[in-house]
Chains A and B, each alone.
Chain A
Amino acid sequence: MKIAVILGRVLNPAGIVVNRRRGRIFVNREEYVMQPADRCALEAALQIKDGSEAEVIALPRDLLPGDAVGSADVLRRALSMGADRAVNFTGRASDVDDAGMTHVLAAAVERLGGVDLVLTGATTWDTGQSQLGPRLAEVLDWPQVVDAWAVRVIDDRAEVVCQILSSPVRGDRGGGSGYSIFEVDLPAVVTVHPGALKSRYPDGVRLINVYRDDGVVEQWDVAEMVDTGNLVPLLEKRGQDFPPQRERGVQLEGTPQEMAKALAGELKKRIG
């Protein structure tokens, strides 16, 4: 059993300040963390490994130029948490979006050989995109399940638990009304929901050893895997917009009736 897990990085929100009024993001501390959904995908892979002979291989989600604190750090963290191998891509190109990255990852999966399951996060924290998993399944021509809450491997198929999202028209405000279990033949691509699993902590000894070993992350040259000229982005960033500054709240006081009356009056005033 071979599981490839695709992992990306994102700026740690604790190190940034968003000034909505000025439409700017200030990076006080350039510190990256693993994308939360990818972290859950890694945990899903490690849980499968816990109960089997599975080999878990970590791959990067991004091609980053001048990658000083980039995906290699995320890959090292994956190794310290229990992944068996980590592969980073060298000869990096800039402006590669999820569409281009799909081709690089598909080539990597083929080069690894014998991969039964690809796991990755269902969405990203920074861009909010959910394209990578479905696009990769399409290129590999493998079945896919998106937004999983749990993944189990039984023989040559995966059992995937997904949340059923009910229509808000029916008045369900809980974000879901139950879970469905899907079975999918392997090999397959499964994307994992960002809140699906509590991630384990890295093992301390492994962490220290992994960071001390320069050669612990394998390096594969992108140019040897795909024609980099074809990695043309389909997405173009044309600017950024910020929601308006959030207003301060108002604390209502009095009896429940008085507060309800005051709230209704305030709403009437605003709605007009």
Chain B
Amino acid sequence: MDFMLSPEHQALRRLIRDFAETEVAPVAADLDREHRVPHEIMRKLGQIGLLGVCFPQEYGGMGAGEIGYCILMEELGRVCTSTATNVGAHIGIGAMVIYLDGREEQKQKYLIPLARGEKIAAFGLTEPNAGSDAANVHTRAVREGDSYILDGGKVFITNGGYADVITVMAATDPSLGAHGGITAFIVETDWPGFSVAREEDKMGIHGTSTAELVFEELRVPQENVLGKVGEGFIPFMKSLDMGRLTLGAAGLGGAEAALDWAVRWAKTRKQCGVELAHKQSVQWMIANMATEIEALRSLIYRVGWMVDTGQPFTQLAAMCKLYGSEVASRAIDMALQIHGGLGLSRDFPIERFFRDARIAEIFEGTNEIQRIVIASDIFRQHGVRIRP
């Protein structure tokens, strides 16, 4: 067993950390305060090649694999959850579904500009009645000649307000449900019939666009069907598996940042004549944070390695998302506690991280869904099929 990152991944981490600390960290609080999407940062990430970090070089990517993508999300998660979320929605789900199930000409047309950051992607799954019940989509796609006409809408779509390309799941035969009745499409947002209805006003991740999208007689050419007609549910779920792993990686970054702040503060803040670091109550919190972070790091990079070596990872990806989001929330909460009242001040980044962390327990499958995925897989191995 070798737990060391390869030299190229170590070099990649140095590059990303340098970028994150130089370009992202100084503006993270402003993005939050001004509810501003980091377009300039996304453009620079694309220029360096980081928006295609995990895709093969023949598709405009960097070829650093899933481990490289985990490094990107961890390092961005350390400084700005909003930026990590923009990147995650673009690479991990929006573009990923084209990479996993797109035909060669679709990869040439869409994946290459997405991997180079020339275009931005979003992932159109969630609807008012299709959240955790993802297969219950009401957006309809009806065949008309050599096209499909899309009618309906999506909600809570990350990057939805500014994406150029959206992968959309729609019902082509509602009577067949998830298996046979749902088709995935690649939609360009400048096509007639596409509109952004509203942007959500959220508790956290203010530097992201979370949009409600409307499709009104939106004509999608046949060649933009992703995968096979009626079999769009599976590629969307496969993309979510990938996204869940790297959401965990972003959580790892947030937890690491929280530990850094907590240690720094505990070294300098004196109460009752001694630094907080000498208080056993604080030591225990630090120890708990560090232990969970170490366990999470091992899980994330092991699963990254499994993806890169072609092993099944659905159950473990759900664990990454579940554990990663909860470790981040706990670590940030403890760091806030160690900072006392100042932890609530907007002069410190902890307050922003505290608000930003909460969403990770909800999006891309709530943590309750992750537990169902994990338990279902375990029971399936023992011959019991769980029905959610």
Binding site for B on A (CB under 8 A): 31, 33, 73, 76-77, 80, 201-205, 207-209, 211-212
Q: Could you tell me which residues of chain B, from 341 to 384, have a CB within 8 Å of some CB in chain A?
A: none
Q: B65: nearest residue on chain A (CB-CB)? A: A208
Q: Could you tell me which residues of chain B, from 28 to 58, have a CB within 8 Å of some CB in chain A?
A: 48-50, 52-53, 57
Docked CA distance A204–B52 (Å):
9
Residues of B with C-beta under 8 A to A209: 63
Contact B15 A208 (CB under 8 A): no
Docked CA distance A7–B68 (Å):
27
Contact B53 A211 (CB under 8 A): no
Contact B62 A204 (CB under 8 A): yes
Q: Could you tell me which residues of chain B, from 49 to 100, have a CB within 8 Å of some CB in chain A?
A: 49-50, 52-53, 57, 61-64, 68
Contact A201 B18 (CB under 8 A): yes
Contact A207 B15 (CB under 8 A): yes
Residues of A with C-beta under 8 A to B61: 205
Evaluate whether A201 and B15 lie within 8 angstroms (CB atoms) in the complex, with A208-B8, A211-B8 already known.
Answer: yes
Q: Which of A33, A77, A204, A212 contacts B49 (CB 8 A)?
A: A204
Evaluate whether A208 and B19 lie within 8 angstroms (CB atoms) in the complex, with A201-B48, A203-B48 already known.
Answer: no
Docked CA distance A208–B62 (Å):
7
Contact B49 A203 (CB under 8 A): yes
Docked CA distance A212–B57 (Å):
14
Docked CA distance A201–B267 (Å):
34
What are 23 inter-chain pairs, A to B, with CB distance below 8 A?
A31-B14, A33-B14, A73-B11, A201-B15, A202-B11, A202-B48, A203-B48, A204-B15, A204-B50, A204-B52, A204-B53, A205-B49, A205-B57, A205-B61, A205-B63, A207-B11, A207-B62, A208-B62, A208-B63, A209-B63, A211-B6, A211-B8, A212-B8
Contact B62 A211 (CB under 8 A): no
Contact A76 B19 (CB under 8 A): no
Docked CA distance A203–B62 (Å):
9
Docked CA distance A145–B198 (Å):
59
Residues of B with C-beta under 8 A to A211: 6-8, 11
Docked CA distance A202–B10 (Å):
14
Contact B19 A201 (CB under 8 A): yes
- CB within 8 Å: A-B pair count: 48
User: Nearest chain A CB to B264's CB is how many angstroms away?
Assistant: 12
Count of chain B residues near A, Cβ 8 A = 20
Residues of A with C-beta under 8 A to B63: 205, 208-209
What 17 additional pairs, Cβ within 8 angstroms, besides A201-B48, A204-B48? A33-B14, A73-B7, A201-B15, A201-B19, A202-B11, A203-B49, A204-B53, A204-B64, A205-B49, A205-B57, A207-B15, A207-B62, A208-B8, A208-B12, A208-B57, A208-B63, A208-B64
Docked CA distance A79–B64 (Å):
17
Docked CA distance A202–B7 (Å):
15
Residues of A with C-beta under 8 A to B48: 201-204
Contact A207 B19 (CB under 8 A): no
Contact B62 A205 (CB under 8 A): yes
* Interchain residue pairs A-B with the least CB separation, the first 7: A204-B49, A211-B8, A204-B62, A211-B7, A204-B48, A201-B48, A211-B11
Residues of A with C-beta under 8 A to B64: 204, 208
Docked CA distance A73–B7 (Å):
9
Residues of A with C-beta under 8 A to B62: 204-205, 207-208
Docked CA distance A204–B45 (Å):
10
Contact B57 A202 (CB under 8 A): no
Q: Which of B11, B19, B50, B68 contacts A80 (CB 8 A)?
A: B11
User: Nearest chain B CB to A173's CB is how many angstroms away?
Assistant: 26
Residues of A with C-beta under 8 A to B11: 73, 76-77, 80, 202, 207, 211
User: Nearest chain B CB to A32's CB is how many angstroms away?
Assistant: 9
User: Nearest chain B CB to A70's CB is how many angstroms away?
Assistant: 13
Docked CA distance A198–B14 (Å):
17
Residues of B with C-beta under 8 A to A201: 15, 18-19, 48
Docked CA distance A212–B68 (Å):
14
Q: B45: nearest residue on chain A (CB-CB)? A: A204
Residues of B with C-beta under 8 A to A205: 49, 57, 61-63
Evaluate whether A207 and B50 lie within 8 angstroms (CB atoms) in the complex, with A201-B18, A201-B19, A202-B15 already known.
Answer: no
Residues of A with C-beta under 8 A to B50: 204
Docked CA distance A80–B6 (Å):
16
Q: B9: nearest residue on chain A (CB-CB)? A: A211
